[in-house]
Chains A and B, each alone.
Chain A
Amino acid sequence: MAKKLITCTINGEKVENYVDVRASLTDMLRNDYELTSVKKGCEVGECGACTVLINGEPFNSCIYLAIWADGKDILTLEGLTDKEGTISDIQQAFIDEGAVQCGFCTPGFIMSSLPIINSDREFTRDEIKKNISGNFCRCTGYQNIVNAIEKTAKARKANKTRQK
């Protein structure tokens, strides 16, 4: 089957690779770049476990052709840790708030929460729920996930105000 050269940025690093035109972005990120935070859940765009940011917007990488990634800026959960492997504030908040049980859905939830915590606007709890409504969690009951996102969003805003 035909292969195509794809050039894109993944977690800040410019990469290029020949990919099978039939591959999903999930396939490419997991198999070619070993980014296994990108989970294979439902594979039909319902559970959100494979969520990554493409040019800053959350997408289900399972229903996104790998060839569409050409020229795009892609961020996976691995891109949130620093060079030493220290986890980010949102990941720490998920641990502190008990927002993780089996952990399978967690990377997807964290990727979906990024537009909220990166925003200068304040989100209500209902707005947070709407923004993570494309992600399923079968363990936590969601409340602690919303708590972790709300806490991180508030902390980041307080930090920004202090820096001003």
Chain B
Amino acid sequence: MYDFNNLYEPKDIREALQMKMEYPNALILAGGSDILIKIRSGRLAGCDLINIYGLEELRGICMEDDGTILIRPLTSFSHVTAHPLIKQYIPTLGEAVDQIGGPQIRNIGTIGGNICNGVTSADSASTLKAFDAMLELSSINGVRILPYAEFSLGPGKVDLREGELLTGIRITKDSYENTYGQYLKYSMRKAMDIATLGCSVNVRLTKDKKAIDRLRIGFGVAAPTPIRATTAETAGNGHVLDSSLLDLVAGKACEDVNPRTSWRASKEFRMHLIKELAKRALKTSIEKAGGKIDG
């Protein structure tokens, strides 16, 4: 038996939003792979829950009229990976969330839960940041659209205001079109482990494939929240694909990050990983886009 107090069960989104307003201290229960474990350990024992797991309208992936890909927050990681739209247009995201936990966790864990938890190690976070995801935050008073870049406030803290629920994650056509990327996760084990460091890169090359048109880099566990490495991006934008590019971008990335020493790894090792993973992911992204360093 799980030690929680009240379990509120909304029938639809509208009722969920009303309950969120009415019971501000109740936690939103999506897949539960974080919350139920914290209840079991005692850290959240006795809490109140709003159970949204059964709300099918918050599940699924579709393309909107303007080509924007909309991911509903309760979509499980395995369904994100397997979805034809993700495979075709944003495979980097599907590959990233396929590295979370193990198969059972990827079936229960939701992409919305991964974001709203606000932890820096979330495997979907760096890729969603690097693809400029836009979040749809709903309350009974209306809808607020917020760039994911502005959502993270601190470790485990996100900009969810009173009565708000994440109801959609959007990636625009301009963001994913002609864009190729790679997510690299460094962890002690290949499965059932949390990232020591995560790096997600994507590039769009110029038409002649000789230079970078647009570079985007997201990191997890490189700072208290998932981040974008904007200094590194600026250095790479417009740069020709020569041998100096990888070192330049990796070096600049060091100015964007602020990793800490934890029991998993030291700050120094994380700095090493930041440079190395940025280089490798950038090289692979360029190759996927049809470019060649010094080619």
Interface residues of A (CB under 8 A from B): 2, 20-24, 27, 43-46, 48, 51, 57-60, 63-65, 67-68, 70, 112, 130-135
12 contacts between A and B (CB under 8 A): A20-B1, A22-B3, A48-B102, A48-B104, A58-B107, A59-B107, A63-B36, A63-B37, A65-B36, A68-B53, A134-B104, A134-B192
Known A-B contacts A21-B7, A46-B192; A134 and B2 likewise in contact (beta carbons under 8 Å): no
Question: Judging by beta carbons under 8 Å apart, are A45 and B37 in contact?
Answer: yes
Cα–Cα distance between A24 and B192 once the two chains are bound (Å): 21
CB distance from B248 to the nearest CB of A (A): 35
CB distance from A32 to the nearest CB of B (A): 13
The residue that A44 contacts in the complex, of B40, B102, B108, with Cβ under 8 A, is B40
Nearest residue in A to B6 (C-beta to C-beta)? A2
Cα–Cα distance between A3 and B26 once the two chains are bound (Å): 20
- Residues in B neighbouring A45, C-beta threshold 8 A: 33, 37, 101, 104-105, 108
Interface residues of B (CB under 8 A from A): 1-4, 7, 32-33, 36-37, 40-41, 51, 53-54, 78, 101-105, 107-108, 190-192
Nearest residue in B to A130 (C-beta to C-beta)? B191
Question: Judging by beta carbons under 8 Å apart, are A112 and B104 in contact?
Answer: yes
Question: Judging by beta carbons under 8 Å apart, are B7 and A60 in contact?
Answer: no
Question: Judging by beta carbons under 8 Å apart, are A65 and B2 in contact?
Answer: yes
- Residues in B neighbouring A23, C-beta threshold 8 A: 1-2
Question: Judging by beta carbons under 8 Å apart, are A133 and B107 in contact?
Answer: no
Known A-B contacts A57-B107, A58-B107, A63-B108; A134 and B101 likewise in contact (beta carbons under 8 Å): yes
Cα–Cα distance between A124 and B295 once the two chains are bound (Å): 34
CB distance from A62 to the nearest CB of B (A): 9
Known A-B contacts A45-B33, A130-B191, A133-B190; A22 and B2 likewise in contact (beta carbons under 8 Å): yes
- Residues in A neighbouring B41, C-beta threshold 8 A: 44
CB distance from A130 to the nearest CB of B (A): 7
- Residues in A neighbouring B102, C-beta threshold 8 A: 48, 133-135
- Residues in A neighbouring B192, C-beta threshold 8 A: 46, 133-134
The residue that B33 contacts in the complex, of A27, A48, A63, with Cβ under 8 A, is A63
- Residues in A neighbouring B107, C-beta threshold 8 A: 57-59
- Residues in A neighbouring B3, C-beta threshold 8 A: 22
For A22, A24, A65, A67, the residue with the greatest tally of chain B CB atoms inside 10 Å of its CB is A65
- Residues in A neighbouring B191, C-beta threshold 8 A: 130, 133-134
The residue that A51 contacts in the complex, of B1, B7, B32, B104, with Cβ under 8 A, is B104
- Residues in A neighbouring B40, C-beta threshold 8 A: 43-44
Cα–Cα distance between A112 and B103 once the two chains are bound (Å): 8
CB distance from B177 to the nearest CB of A (A): 30
11 more contacts with CB within 8 A, not counting A48-B102, A131-B103, are A20-B1, A22-B7, A27-B1, A43-B40, A45-B105, A46-B192, A57-B107, A64-B32, A65-B36, A134-B103, A135-B102
For B53, B54, B108, the residue with the greatest tally of chain A CB atoms inside 10 Å of its CB is B108
Nearest residue in B to A61 (C-beta to C-beta)? B104
